Structure 1
Amino acid sequence: MDPRTSAQDVMRCDLCETAVVQMHCDTCLVNLCKACVGEHVSVNLSKPHKIVDFKDKQSIPIYPECTTHDKERCKMYCKQCDTPLCNKCIASDQHLGHRLSEILQILEEKRDTIIQNQIELKETIYPTYQDIASKVQIRISQLEKKYRDLSTAITKHAENWHREIDEHVKKLKAEVDVMKNTQRNTLQKHLDEVNKNISDIKDEINSLEDAVASKDIFYFYNVKFDLEKYKRLPIKIVPSLPNFTPGRIQGGELSKLFGSLAPSSMTTDEQGYRLGIKQKLPEAEFCLPEKQLLDEPETVTTIVTGYERLYNVACLSDEEIWTSGNGNIMKLFSINQGSLLKSIRTKSGNWPCDIAVTKIGDLAYTDHKDRTVNIVKNEKIEKVIRLKKWKPLGNCVTSSGNLLVILMSNDGKQTKVVQYYGSIEIESIQFKGTDKPLYSESEEKHITENKNLDICVSDNEAGAVVVVNRAGKPRFRYTGHTPAPKNQPFSPRGITTDSQSHILTADISNDCIHIIDQDGHFLRYIECGLSYPIGLCSDTNDNLFVAEWENRKVKKIKYLQ
C-alpha cells in the first residue's frame, strides 16, 4: 500500500504527490501545496482559478463543465442519454422529449447508492471476508498440526520397527554364539584327545629307540608296545555350520507390513459462505486443542551462546534455533544438545538488528546501519530490500510468508510498519486516524503476527504493546500490569505468540515475561529466574525460548499443558 495514498497517511498534493496539502482550487476541485499553486494556474489560464486555504474550500457544489459548449456548466441531466446538460444543450433539439432531471438530484441518488454500497461493504462484506480469512488461517494451522502429528506417528512406528528388528537381531546373534560355543567345545575336546595320543606316540617312539640302543638283553626282551592301539584312528568330527537365510520382501509388501497412508482430498461446500454470518468450522473437522497455562512454568533447557551480549532468538525448527548478539555472527544451535551447528557472518559486517525464519526455513535479518533486509539461502546472503529514507528495525514473517518490517525514518522522527511481498511494499501502517502516530520514535521495537492475523509491536519507549488488525486499524494498547515482579515500569522488548493467540512479551526491567490474551487482557507472568530477558520466540509445540541479554543464554521454557 502506497503511504501517499493510504487512508492512514496525511493528504498529499494532487500535483506533486509528495508535499502535504495546504491549498485548494475551488474551480478545479484540486488539492495543492503552496509550491504547486503557480504551476496549476499557469496550466489553464482560460478560466479563473479560485485558490483558497484547504480548510476554507467551498462546500457548495461545483457543476461540471459541458463537454459540448465551452465555459458552460451543466445543471440538468438527461436520463435517456445518460449525460449532463447545460442550458444550451437543453435549448437544442437533441434532447426534445427526453426525461430530464436536475443534476443535483441525480448526484444525490448516486450518493445514496454509493453510501449504501459503502455501508454494505464496510459492515457486511468486509467483516465476512475477514472472518473467512481468519477461519482459513485456523484451517491452515490445524493442517500444519495434523500433518506434523502424522509425521510423528510414522516416525514412532518406524522406531518401534527398529526396536523389534534390533531385538530380533540380538536374539539371532545370541543363537549364533550358543551354536558356535557348542561346536567349538566339541572340536576342542576332540583336539585334546588327538594331542594326548600324539604325546603318547612320542613316548612310545622314545621307548623303542632306547630299547634298540640298549645292550641290556633283559630290558630289550621285556619291551612291550601295542601298535594296533594307535592304528585305530579317532572318529572324525566334522561340524555342520548353520546358514542365515534372509527373508525376502517382494515389491509392495513392505508398505503393507509397515503401514500406508490413505489419500488426502479437498472438498468444496456447495452452500459456500454466507454474507454477514460468522463462519463456523464443521464439528467433524479436526480442531486445535485448547491448552491451559501451567501453574508453575519450568525451564527445560539452557543453551550457552558465547556472545558478549545476546539480543535475538528465532526458531528454525523444534530442534534448532538461530541467535544473534552484539557481533556480526549469527549462530545456529541444537536445542537438545546445546551445540553450535553453524555460523553465518552478516554481509556488511554490521550487527543484525533482528532475525526471523521464513516459511521455507531461510534466515531473514535486518541491517539497521546498511538500511537493508537480507535473506540467507544455503549460507549465501541476498539483499531483498534496500531502503534510502528509512532504516529497518524489527522484522517477522507472516502466516502468508510475507515480511513485516518496522521502519524508522533517517531523522528518527517517524516509525511505521511495512509489509513486503518479496521486495514489493504492499501495506504501510503508521498513523492512528489521520496524523496521530501509532508508534514512538525509539529504535527499541519488536514485531510479530498473531494467529488471528493481528500485528503486534512491542514499543519500549512508549512502554506498550501496540496491536492493530490486519487492515492497520488499532485494536488495543497493553501498558503492563500491576504489581510488577520488581515494581519497575513496563519495559517491553521481544515479542511472540502461540497457538492459543496469546501474546508474550519480554519485560527487561522486571525480569519476566507478560502473557496477555488476544484482546489485551493480562493472564500471568513467567519468571523462572530470568535475568534481563530481551528476545523471544516459540516453536510449533508452544515451547517458549527466551534470550537473556547479560547472561548470554537461551532458556527453553514450558508454560502450557
Structure 2
Amino acid sequence: MDPRTSAQDVMRCDLCETAVIQMHCETCLVNLCKACVGEHISTGEYKDHKIVKFHDRQSTPLYPRCTTHAKERCEMYCKQCDIPVCLSCLASKQHLGHELSKVLQVLEEKKDIIVKERNELIDTIYPTYQDIASNVQNRMSQLEKEYGDLSTAIIKHEEDWHREIDKLVKKLKAEVDEMKNTQLQTLQKQLNEINKTMSDITEEINSTETAIDTNDLSKLFSVKSNVSRYINLPHKMIPLLPKFIPGKIHWEELSKIFGALSSNSLKTDEHGYSMKTTQKSPEAGSSPPVKQLLDGPETVTTIDTGYRDNLYNVVCLSDEEIWTNGYDSTMKLFSINQGSLLKSVRTKSWKIPFDIAVTKSGDLVYTDTSDRTVNIMKNEKIEKVIRIRNWRTRSVCSTSSGDLLVIMDSDDYKQAKVVRYTGSTKKQTIQFDDKGRPLYSFDSYRKYITENKNLDICVSDSGARAVVVVNQAGKLRFRYTGHIPAPKYQPFNPRGITTDSQSHILTADVKNDCVHLIDQDGQFLRYIACELSQPWGLCTDTNDNLFVAQLLNIQVKKIKYLQ
C-alpha cells in the first residue's frame, strides 16, 4: 500500500516518506518527522523556518517569492503593476503612489473568481454542452428517420410510376392485339372469298372437260364460258403494321416530371444554442418551441366571405377573428369558429383598399392607392397616418417593433421601394442592393410584404416572379424564384406572403393553386395545396394555422400544417 496516497494509512513525512508526521514547517508548508527537521532547516535555500508541532500548525499561506528580491516573500500586491511586491520593493519607492492590497485579499478575490468560474463550469457550461450533445444526437436520429421517410417517398413514387407505366404498356399491348385481330379478320374474309372462287373455278373446269369428251352437241352448246368472271382478280390487301415510336428519354425532362430533390446543406447558426441556466430570464418565453411539419396539411374550416367579386386579402385580428377585403370598398371582420360576419367597415374614400394589416394593439390598417395614403382605424374612427406624393401606396405590414413597412411604386412605374415609418415619420428606405441595382420590379404588378420573426423583410414580387428577402438593415439575403415541379407546372406567380413562429416564409402561388413553404434561408420545404383555388392573401395566427384568401370563390380556408 502506498503510504502517500492510501486513505487507510497514517500521514508520512514529506522528506523520508517513511516516518509518521510529527512536525510542520509553516514557512515551507512541509510535513516532517522529528528526524528530518534538522535536515530541512539546514537547506540553504530557506531561512528562518518556522517549525511547529503538526497539531499546532496554522493555515498560513505560502507567500510568493519576489521576482526582484529572491530571498524575500511578497505580502503585498501592486494593482497598477499587477504584481506581488515585498517590503524591499516598497522601500525602494518603485511603487510609490500605487494602489496596494494585501496578497491575502487578492488571494481571496482570486479564489472567489476561481470558485465562481468552477461553479459556472459545473452548473452551467458543462450541462449546456451535455444538452447540445443530446440535441445533436437527437438531430442525427431525426435525420435518419427523415431520410428514411424521404427514401420511402421516392420508392413509393417509383411504384406509382411503375403502376402507371404498366397500365400504359397494357393499354398499348391491347391496342396492338386489337389492330392485329382487325387486320387478320379482313384478310381471313378475303381468303374465304378466294377459296370460294377457286372452288367455283374447279367445278367449272370439270364441267367443261365433260362437255369436251362428249359427242352430244346439245351438251356442248349448253356450256357457257365464265372466264370473264374470273379475269378480274381480287384486290391485293397489304397490311400496314403500326410502328412503335419510343419516346426519347431526356434525363432533365424525366427528372422534372418524376420529381427532384431540393438542395441540402448543413446550416450553421452561431446563435443557435443558449447557455443552460436554472434561472428564468425575462426573454426565456420568447423562444418558440420547435414544431415539425405534418405529413400532410389539413383543411380545418372554410369561411364564405360573401363578396360579389374577387377576394384579395386576409389578416388575423386574433385567433378567433380575421379581417378580409375584396374588390369593393368594404373590409369585413369574421368570426373564425362561427364563420359569421361581425363587422363591416368602408374605406374613408369609398375606394378599394389595396392591402390590410393589423397593428400590435389590434388596430386595422389599410392602404388606399387612389389617394396615396396609409390609414388606421382606432375606436371606429379612420385616420390618415401617412400621405405621400409622386408615389402610390401598395402593400403594408405592421412590424414587431410597431413600425409600418409600406411598399410603394412611383407614378411612372419605373421605381419601387419599401419605406419604414414610425407613426408618420419616415425612418428607412429600401430600394437598391449593394451594387446599386433595384431590389424590386418596376411595374404595376402586385407586391406584398411581411416581417419575419428574425426581423428579415420579405416581399413577394409578382413582376419579378420572386420572393425578395432583405435583412433588417435592407441588405439582400436571397431571392426565391420557385421550385420545380410546381403542382400545375406553371411558372411561379407569387401573391400574398406571411411567416410563422418557426421563421418559415409562406407565399401564395396563384397560377399553381398552392402555397410555397420555405425556411428563413430560402430553402424549399413543401407545397401546401389542400384543393386551393387561386390563393391570394395569406396570414397565420399565434398557433401557426394558415389562412388563405381564395380569389374567385371568395372563400378563406384555415389550414393546419405544423404539429
Task: Calculate the TM-score normalised by the size of structure 1.
Answer: 0.50
Which residue among 498, 507, 521 is the counterpart of 1:496? Answer: 498
Residue-by-residue CA offset, 1:176-217 (whole Å, 9 max, x unaligned): xxxxxxxxxxxxxxxxxxxxxxxxxxxxxxxxxxxxxxxxxx
Aligned to 1:392: 393
| Separation in 1, partners of 2:317, 2:509 | 24
Counterparts of 1:545 and 1:392 in 2: how far apart (Å)?
24
Residues 281 and 429 of structure 1: is their aligned pair in 2 closer, same or farther, counting only changes over 3 Å? farther
SS of structure 1 residue aligned to 2:365:
strand
Q: Does 1:300 align with 2:294?
A: no
Alignment correspondent of 2:291: 291
Q: Deviations over 1:415-454 (max 9, x none)?
A: 0000000000000000012431000013300000000000
Residues 30-64 of structure 1: per-residue CA shift (max 9 Å, x gap) = xxxxxxxxxxxxxxxxxxxxxxxxxxxxxxxxxxx
Distance, in Å, in 2 between the alignment partners of 1:295 and 1:346 is 42
- 1:436–1:343 distance in 2 versus 1, CA, 3 Å: same
After superposition, what is the alpha-carbon deviation per residue over 1:143-196, rounded to whole angstroms, capped at 9, x for unaligned?
Answer: xxxxxxxxxxxxxxxxxxxxxxxxxxxxxxxxxxxxxxxxxxxxxxxxxxxxxx
Query: For residues 288 and 382 of structure 2, what CA distance do their matches in structure 1 show?
Result: 36
Equivalent position amino acid for 2:453 in 1: K
Which residue in 2 is equivalent to 1:549? 551
Corresponding position: 1:512 with 2:506: no
CA contact (8 A) 1:458 1:493 kept: yes
CA contact (8 A) 1:430 1:439 kept: yes
- Report the CA distance between 1:404 and its aligned residue: 0.3
Letter in 2 for 1:395: V
Counterpart in the other structure of 2:350: 349
Superposition CA RMSD, Å: 1.4
Matched AA of 1:425: K
Match of 1:366 in 2: 367
Whole-Å separation in 1 of the counterparts to 2:313 and 2:401: 23
Alignment TM-score, normalising by the size of structure 2: 0.50
Where relative contact order (Cα < 8 A, 6+ residues apart) is larger, the structure is 1
- Separation in structure 2 between the aligned mates of residue 283 and residue 344 of structure 1, nearest angstrom: 49
What code does the residue aligned with 1:542 have?
A: D
Report how far residue 282 of structure 1 moved.
4.4
Which residue is 1:73 aligned to?
none
1:452 corresponds to? 454
Aligned residue number for residue 559 of structure 1: 561
- Who is 1:438 aligned against? 439
How many angstroms apart in 1 are the aligned matches of 2:543 and 2:443?
33
In 2 relative to 1, CA 528–425 (structure 1 residues): closer, same or farther, beyond 3 Å? same
Q: Secondary structure at the match of 1:437?
A: coil
Task: Summarize the Cα distance change of 1:347–1:482 in structure 2 as closer, same or farther, 3 Å threshold.
Answer: same
Alignment partner, residue 280 of structure 1: 274
Aligned to 1:53: none
Tell me the distance in 2 between the aligned counterparts of 1:437 and 1:282.
44
Q: Give the distance between the partners of 2:403 and 2:500, measured in 1 at CA.
A: 19
The residue that corresponds to 1:478 in the other structure is 480
Partner amino acid, structure 1, of 2:274: K
* Structure 2 unmatched ranges of 5 or more: 1-269, 279-283
Moved more, 479-488 or 285-294: 285-294
Alignment of structure 1 residues 530-541 onto 2, 5 Å: 530-541=532-543
1:280 deviation in Å?
A: 3.1
Q: Which amino acid aligns with 1:300?
A: V
2:465 aligns with 463
Shift of 1:281: 5.5
- Structural mapping, 1:228-243, within 5 Å: none
Q: Which amino acid is 2:342 matched to?
A: L
Aligned residues with identical type, % of pairs: 69
Cα distance change of structure 1 residues 279 and 559 upon mapping to structure 2, 3 Å threshold:
closer
1:300/1:434 CA distance change after superposition, 3 Å: same
Q: Which amino acid aligns with 1:446?
A: Y
Q: Aligned pair in 2 of structure 1 residues 278, 496: CA closer, same or farther (>3 Å)?
A: closer
Secondary structure, aligned partner of 1:452: coil
Q: Given that residues 442 and 460 in structure 1 are in contact (C-alpha distance below 8 angstroms), is that contact kept between their aligned partners in structure 2? A: no
Cα distance 1:342–1:484, how it changes in 2: closer, same or farther (>3 A)? same
**Structure 2 counterpart SS, 1:370:** coil
Alignment partners' CA distance in 1, 2:390 and 2:295:
48
Q: Give the drift of 1:536.
A: 0.1
Please report how far the alpha carbon of residue 340 of structure 1 lies from its aligned counterpart in structure 2 after TM superposition: 0.3
Q: Distance in 2 between matches of 1:281 and 1:425?
A: 38
In structure 2, relative to structure 1, the CA distance for the partners of 1:281 and 1:446 (3 Å cut) is farther
2:202 equivalent in structure 1: none
After TM superposition, which residue ranges in structure 1, 4 or more long, deviate above 6 angstroms? 276-279
Once the 2 structures are TM-superposed, how far is the Cα of residue 283 of structure 1 from its aligned partner? 4.8
Distance in 2, matches of 1:390 and 1:507, equals: 27
Distance 1:434 1:383 in 2: 36
Aligned position for 2:3: none
- Structure 1 residue matching 2:385: 3-state secondary structure: strand
Give the Cα separation in 1 of the matches to 2:272 and 2:560: 34
